[in-house]
Structure 1
Amino acid sequence: MPSLKRDPRTPVLIALVLTMALVAMDTTIVATAIPQVVEDLGGIDQVGWVFSVYLLAQTVTIPIYGKLADLYGRKPILVFGVVVFLAGSALSAASWNMLALIGFRALQGLGAGSIGATVNTVAGDLYTVQERGRVQGYLSSVWGISAVIAPGVGGLFAQYASWRWIFLINLPLGALALVLILRGLHEDVPRHKHRIDYAGASLVLLSVGLLILGLLEGGSTWAWDSVGSITTFAGAIIAGVAAAFVERRAAEPMLPTWLWTRRLTLATFAATATAGMIVIGLSVYLPNWGQQVLHLSPVAAGFVMATMSMTWPVSSALSSHLYLRVGFRDTALLGAGLATVAGVWLSFLGPDSAVWRPVLGTAVMGAGMGLIFTPLIVGLQGTVGWSERGTITGGTMFARFLGQSLGAAAYGAAFNAGMQAHADASPALRVHESTHVVFLGLLAVAVLTCVLLALAVPRHFPAYDS
């Protein structure tokens, strides 16, 4: 394996890490400064949309960008995404009211979708199967580092400068990434006329957008059994059926039917989605439990969660040694087993637990996540050629984000039910009992991931024969 110092691919890898950092830092750095944003712009009743519209725009566009990267090459799609993200960042910094900020955050999300779809595709293009575990470790470490430093950076800007700097900081990082991409990423893309599947793309965006919107807003903006909720999900189903009808007849479908009809891809997407559910549940509820129940400071509670982000990239980098010996499916199954062990451990946490216990649980969970996500995405990338790698990578990333949206909805409902069931208890005990229900949910989803991997995902990922 070549040294990073002598490897001509290193500048592009640095650019991929920088672009991933733009997306990884965004949510946590913005969340820290929300009180100052509201104080300056007002619109506290709309603040939830600052996050929801970004996640919505990012998630729904990932599979579209993945297909476009196969048609026109990774470089133009990635450059476009970074430019759009930076434009959204600059405009967000210039926002004059909350509605403007929400609109510009949507623009940021459109750029983030391109980054999410193409960064891992470029890594798959540049590196061999033997090397991709190490590279995925680098990319995964970005999320861990961001989880630790982004809240502090956001707090410093909000307290000593202006919340607008949380968006302006993206500009020099993105500019450096653009220079490295433009200078270092070279592709030989066959040039011929394509028949863009505009109808299919529109229906996919509509279906997925309504689904994510329903998951994000259900139980908060409207009740799950309300007319608004039912109408939203019904619209998602109708648009989805229409999209499937159109895609089967399109010359170059935006979402080829083989993504959903092949057992390998469908089952792997499902396992990726359930793993995404695990990540969001722990990320959202463990820090709050640490503060409300163990009475940790926000910083200490954040570091408890950060242990998962530290073990994740390590196990991701080491996963290649496993998947080259026992295969992609069995490596992911080992990761799901670790996630199950962590779920059991977290389920036995009590209101008087020592801090090392949740730290250990999150460390084991992080190791499990690295062994799940990396083998699955690397394995799928190896089953197709260059012309389909963007599509299959985009599908994998979409499944992960969709799982996070599903998890946010499911755990939110479980947590709220727990709060209502223990309405007469002390505040700390209410939070503990409600979070305990979430931990049990994490355990159930981890077991489900094991079952999916063992029974639905084929043991062998057939290598693409060019």
Structure 2
Amino acid sequence: MNESNQRTGQNKYRPFILAAVMLAMFVGAIEATIVSTAMPAITADLGDFQLYSWVFSSYLLMSTVTVLLYGKLSDLFGRKPVLTLGMSFFLVGSILCGFAESMEWLIAFRFIQGLGAGAVMPIASTIVGDIYSKEERAKIQGYLSSVWGISAVMGPAIGGLLVETIGWQYVFWINIPLGVLSLTVLWIFLKEDVEKNTSPIDYKGAALLSVALTVLLYLLVEGGISIPWLSSTALIMIASAVLLLYLFVRHELKAPDPMMPFSIWRNRAIFIANIVSLTTGVLLIGISSYLPAFVTGVMEESASIAGFTLTAMSIGWPIAATVAGRLLIKIGYYKTSLLGGISLIIGTFLFVLMEPGYGPVWPAVSSFFVGIGMGLTTTSFIVSIQSAVPWKLRGAATAANMFMRNLGSTVGVALLGGILNASIRSSFEKSENTEVQSLGVDAVNSLLEAEQRSRIEPVVLEQLQSAMTSGLNIVYFIVFAFALISLFFILFLPRKE
């Protein structure tokens, strides 16, 4: 495909295409904040707090596995039909999530939603890479990142309002009109001239990766709870996951048209960007998944206030992304990424220091610094990666970077969820109160809704909140460790632009 010819043909319609892409990204971005905000209410209604992390894990697992496949399909068949397929799965899953009558059904429907989500973000970003020149992308990526800010301001506010008025089901159903509108505009204005490609689709690679991640994810969530860490079952699952990942990498290196082209990883900037995306994915999900539960259950604030603490992160993200577009030109890729890494350290360290009595402003400030760090690093990485590869690899390269961040989030939510559940259970067992000793992890459900919380005896309430606080302190310490790892790798980025 001749990129300059395609951009020339699209110039007239670029504002409409950009608006449709931003709307598609908004649907994907708002999903994170609006569902996190609603989770305390969903858990209070459906129960099964021990399955809390599975609501995120199921969605992230499918979006992580499919993101590479969608990226490759978009290089073969064009961006528009593949984005349409993904968005359709996403919207069907959203409709079904609203009808879930138990936590198990909600998790199952989140699998369907995640199956489509893998297409939305990477292909939307790739479309922008197609229709704008290398020089224009830094500024436009700043605009795209502003979507995170808009969704962050609206997501928690809308989520809190819906939860407190007509019900949590509508946090899923709000996706429907937005997704349909985005697809309609894209089909009207985006014209693609895709070269015929007879390369086989790498289904074997997709299958190996899917099974490997499913085994690993299940062990991370259930390890220490239903599966003892030192049991033969756990060891077999670890060995199976490692073997399957090995087979996946070996297959991808030999495949004629691999789902993940490891050849692009020879570029040092791309390699480091992908590794840092993995580590930042862990810290990002650790904050966004469990912060609302802490603010609601321990600080005893409303769903709207819990949403506000997450909003601060996504306000910092687009501000930093917009500034990053200019910094990339003025001070370069290395220094811009370094500033982002330092900001991640500051934000996560503030979470380590957080105490229940500090109030919601403290986690909001901490979130803001994390948002600044994410905005600077992700914008730098996407602009650099899309500039380093030709059109025929751009979809796969963009998807590979988002895959690594999604993989970090997938593993992170499972790992941190397992650690949190194990810590809460340990705190109950160590309690001197016999009533607390007999409680299961699901007992913390009652912390997440004001009316249920008011019926708990003060002594028991204090110990429930203490158990959740100690568990989340461990989670935030691990998040801080991943921020340190991120900064360490950023130091190895090439300094020549």
TM-score, normalised by the number of residues in structure 1: 0.85
The answer to whether the 8 Å contact 2:86/2:118 transfers is yes
Call closer, same or farther: CA 1:275–1:226 in 2, change over 3 Å: same
Aligned residues: 455
Rounded Cα–Cα distance in structure 2 between residues aligned with 1:178 and 1:378:
25
Q: Say which of 463, 482, 492 aligns to 1:445.
A: 482
Matched, 1:458 2:463: no
Partner of 1:464: none
Q: Which region of structure 1 is more displaced relative to structure 2, 295-304 or 67-76?
A: 295-304
Q: Say which of 188, 192, 201 aligns to 1:196.
A: 201
Q: CA deviation at 1:388?
A: 0.6
1:32-91 deviation line (CA, Å, top 9, x unaligned):
666887899899987765443222211111111111111222122112111222233344
1:393-424 deviation line (CA, Å, top 9, x unaligned):
11110111111233334434554566546955
Call closer, same or farther: CA 1:438–1:426 in 2, change over 3 Å: same
Q: CA deviation at 1:446?
A: 1.6
Partner of 1:233: 238
Partner of 1:314: 319
Rounded Cα–Cα distance in structure 1 between residues aligned with 2:338 and 2:28:
28
1:349-379 deviation line (CA, Å, top 9, x unaligned):
3444365443332222211111111101211
Q: CA deviation at 1:439?
A: 3.2
- Describe the SS at the equivalent of 1:251: coil
Partner of 1:68: 73
Q: Which region of structure 1 is more displaced relative to structure 2, 306-315 or 153-162?
A: 153-162
Rounded Cα–Cα distance in structure 1 between residues aligned with 2:101 and 2:472:
38
Q: Say which of 5, 18, 26 aligns to 1:21.
A: 26
- Describe the SS at the equivalent of 2:354: coil
Q: Give ranges in structure 1 of 5+ residues lacking alignment.
A: 1-5, 462-466
Rounded Cα–Cα distance in structure 2 between residues aligned with 1:256 and 1:92:
34
Rounded Cα–Cα distance in structure 2 between residues aligned with 1:184 and 1:242:
42
Call closer, same or farther: CA 1:158–1:304 in 2, change over 3 Å: closer
Partner of 2:276: 271
Q: Which amino acid aligns with 2:390?
A: G
Q: Which region of structure 1 is more displaced relative to structure 2, 174-183 or 245-254?
A: 245-254
Q: Which region of structure 1 is more displaced relative to structure 2, 113-122 or 32-41?
A: 32-41
Q: CA deviation at 1:183?
A: 1.3
Q: Say which of 105, 108, 112 aligns to 2:113.
A: 108
Partner of 1:344: 349
- Give the alignment of 1:23-38 within 5 angstroms: 23-30=28-35
Partner of 1:411: 416
The answer to whether the 8 Å contact 1:36/1:158 transfers is yes
- Describe the SS at the equivalent of 1:81: helix
TM-score, normalised by the number of residues in structure 2: 0.80
Q: CA deviation at 1:450?
A: 1.2
Q: CA deviation at 1:97?
A: 7.2
The answer to whether the 8 Å contact 2:23/2:178 transfers is yes
The answer to whether the 8 Å contact 2:205/2:248 transfers is yes
Q: CA deviation at 1:199?
A: 2.3
Q: Which amino acid aligns with 2:305?
A: A
Q: Give ranges in structure 2 of 5+ residues lacking alignment.
A: 1-10, 432-461
The answer to whether the 8 Å contact 2:63/2:114 transfers is yes
Call closer, same or farther: CA 1:103–1:432 in 2, change over 3 Å: closer
1:298-322 deviation line (CA, Å, top 9, x unaligned):
3223212321111110100110111
Matched, 1:135 2:150: no
- Give the alignment of 1:365-444 within 5 angstroms: 365-412=370-417, 415=420, 419=424, 420=426, 423-424=430-431, 426-444=463-481
Q: Which amino acid aligns with 2:329?
A: L
- Describe the SS at the equivalent of 1:59: helix
The answer to whether the 8 Å contact 1:351/1:429 transfers is no
The answer to whether the 8 Å contact 1:275/1:372 transfers is no
Q: Which region of structure 1 is more displaced relative to structure 2, 65-74 or 423-432?
A: 423-432
Matched, 1:126 2:163: no
